[in-house]
Chains A and B, each alone.
Chain A
């Protein structure tokens, strides 16, 4: 049985916040960034105070220990998402991951006028803007998959995807609607036309089981900080045969095999794509975060989110003037409830709740095209993770009622 009360004890921020402010912390902004358990910081401490040194460089014991720990996490990540170890590239986060991937693919695909890139309207800015820029640079056209309710309009998507399609980029789960999308369905279509499929797993990783072999996507990227890991960590997965064909987008130490002043040859994958000294401590912390999630059990984590989504959806719909915007079917929701309140702007809701120690996000959530599609300027979003429980939802509901009163609604 999932015990959030015990889990909370592993996250010192809850105690610290209460000591500092005199009120308990109800942290419901996990889709922006999660909290960090002691185990993650301790793992980084161990590195910094016990075996800090650079990786892949020198044959002395500290460096070997650091390299072993760093590469050990690569193997751990690979197992975690069903990939091969050499298919995992460490990045500083999802955004840098997708940006470097775009440059890698630009050179490989040689996009030109007449080619098309397909993205969805539900996308986080980080999975739209790099492709807008790619389209601008190459003359390729950007095509947008519309929504049907809270899910993608798969039939329209299938019509959009044609032999002209070179890249399809889509999220595994929406950071606003919570919807878990049917990536497999679009991969099937992509395979028919020979398009590359890129999956943004930022919201999904650490919240549901991910297996890149089952998804059959070509690339997948995510951040570490939304799954209990340190900030400044991320992963980029790429199919081995594709990575082998790609040229790095950043250059420097680690990337090269042989360098003369005039020319260089490049290293094997995945090292070819990790220029410079990596975030060794962060990667080690990320490994501890994965360990933490695995100890809880990813299926248990998922079940817990479903329970909270179902309960929150029920409670929020009971409040007059509150409109649920997120996916209502908890089986299809990653762990997010988004809503609007008649006559109260999301910013004001977030601020009033914040003063009661309830952390939610109000705004466009880096998804302006989606907001436009929904016909709102912003929404309130409560997103759950392992340390949240039913009581947190009750406090959220109580505070919303209070916020409505402030505005005389």
Chain B
């Protein structure tokens, strides 16, 4: 059986998610909802001088969506808002590093959707 989807990296981020906490003093936040399963995720960002200084998330989800959120927060910290705006779904797939089947696309992009919702109204 091909267990590639659940390789160590994903399982590690799922079992020990980075930056999984509610942020009280966030600058902006955005949510993502997976209509297929009802999972919800909230992404918090703190910004200073057009840069993301802190990123965290909270929510429930499967291994793919939570590992994706964990990886995304790591990537976001230190990134300029304009660079964050440039991120694409492809970046999520690259970070996850696995083949995502069509039925799991929403899982893989849940954190990305939350990010898009968070930053769509702010200027870079």
Contacts and interface: CB of A to CB of B under 8 A. Distances in A.
Contact of B104 (A346, A351, A364): A351
Contact of B60 (A356, A362, A377, A408): A377
Contacts, number: 49
Interface string A393-409: 00000000000001110
A234 interface: no
Contacts of A407: 6, 11, 14-15, 63
Interface size class of B (residues with CB under 8 A): 20 to 34
Contacts of A363: 36-38
A363 B3 CA distance: 21
Contacts of B40: 377
B28 to A, nearest CB: 25
B16 to A, nearest CB: 12
Nearest to A363: B37
Interface size class of A (residues with CB under 8 A): 10 to 19
A408 B63 CA distance: 13
A310 interface: no
Contacts of B62: 345-348
Given A351-B5, A351-B104, A355-B1, A345 B63 contact: yes
B2 interface: yes
A347 B104 contact: yes
A352 B64 CA distance: 12
Given A345-B61, A377-B60, A408-B15, A355 B2 contact: yes
Given A345-B61, A347-B64, A355-B1, A378 B6 contact: no
B107 interface: yes
Interface in A352-393: 352, 355-356, 362-364, 368, 371, 377-378
A85 to B, nearest CB: 40
Nearest to A362: B37
Contacts of A348: 6, 62-64
A377 B11 CA distance: 20
Q: Which residue, of A347, A355, A356, A362, has the highest number of chain B Cβ atoms within 10 A?
A: A347
Contacts of A355: 1-2
Interface string A261-279: 0000000000000000000
B38 A368 contact: yes
B75 to A, nearest CB: 23
B17 to A, nearest CB: 13
A377 B63 CA distance: 14
7 tightest A-B contacts by CB?
A345-B62, A347-B62, A363-B37, A364-B38, A348-B62, A377-B60, A348-B63
Interface of A: 345-348, 351-352, 355-356, 362-364, 368, 371, 377-378, 406-408
12 contacts: A347-B107, A348-B62, A355-B1, A355-B2, A356-B1, A363-B36, A368-B38, A377-B37, A377-B61, A378-B38, A378-B39, A408-B11
